[in-house]
Amino acid sequence: MKVIVLGAGVVGVTSAYQLAKAGHEVTVVDRQEGPALETSFANAGEVSFGYCSPWAAPGIPLKAMKWLFMDHAPLILRPKMDTAMLSWMAQMLRNCTSERYAINKSRMLRIADYARVSLAEVRAETGIAYDERMQGTLQLFRTRQQLDASAKDVKALAADGVPYEVLDPEGCIRVEPALRHVREKIVGGLLTPKDETGDCFKFTNALALKAAELGAKFVYGTNIKALDVEGGTVRGVVTDRETLRADAVVVALGSYSPMLVKQFDIRLPVYPVKGYSLTIPIVDAARAPESTVMDETYKIAITRLGDRIRVGGMAEISGYTNDLGQKRRATLEHSVTDLFPGGDVSKADFWSGLRPMTPDGTPVIGATKVKGLFLNTGHGTLGWTMSCGSAKLISDLVGGRKPEIDATDLAVSRYA
User: Could you tell me which stretch among 30-38, 115-123, 181-189, 212-220 binds ligand FAD (CB under 6 A)?
Assistant: 30-38
Nearer to ligand FAD, 15 or 173 (CB): 15
Contact status, residue 74 vs residue 113, Cβ threshold 8 Å: no
The one segment of 114-122, 166-174, 269-277, 367-375 that binds ligand FAD by CB under 6 A: 269-277
Q: Which is nearer to ligand FAD, 170 or 242 (CB)?
A: 242
Interface with ligand FAD (CB under 6 A), residue from 40, 104, 137, 318: 40
List 20, 30, 119, 131, residue binding ligand FAD (CB under 6 A) = 30
- How are beta strands 75-77 and 137-141 bridged, if at all? unpaired
Tell me if 7 contacts ligand FAD by CB under 6 A: yes
User: What's the CA gap between 8 and 27, in Å, rounded?
Assistant: 10
Nearest Cα residue to 3 out of 415, 398, 393: 398
* Sole binder of ligand FAD in the list 145, 223, 263, 322 (CB under 6 A): 223
Check residue 384 for interaction with ligand FAD (CB under 6 A): yes
CA angle 198, 376, 260 (to 5 degrees): 125
CB of 168 vs ligand FAD, minimal distance in Å? 26
> d(Cα 296, Cα 338) in Å, to the nearest integer?
13
Taking the CA atoms of residue 182, residue 188, residue 193 and residue 199 in that order, the dihedral angle to the nearest 10 degrees is -40
Q: Which of 308, 325, 222, 191 is nearest to 4 (CA)?
A: 222
Stretch that binds ligand FAD, among 102-110, 160-168, 321-329, 349-357 (CB under 6 A): 349-357
Out of 16, 38, 340, 367, point to the residue binding ligand FAD (CB under 6 A): 38
Cα–Cα distance, 53 to 176 (Å, whole number):
24
Which residues touch 98 (CB under 8 Å, ≥6 apart)? 58
Question: 169 vs 258, which CB is nearer to ligand FAD?
Answer: 258
Nearer to ligand FAD, 40 or 192 (CB): 40
Reduced to 3 states (helix: H, G, I; strand: E, B; else coil), residue 304 is: strand
Residue 380 in contact with ligand FAD, rule: CB under 6 A: yes
Contact residue for ligand FAD among 8, 244, 282, 407 (CB under 6 A):
8
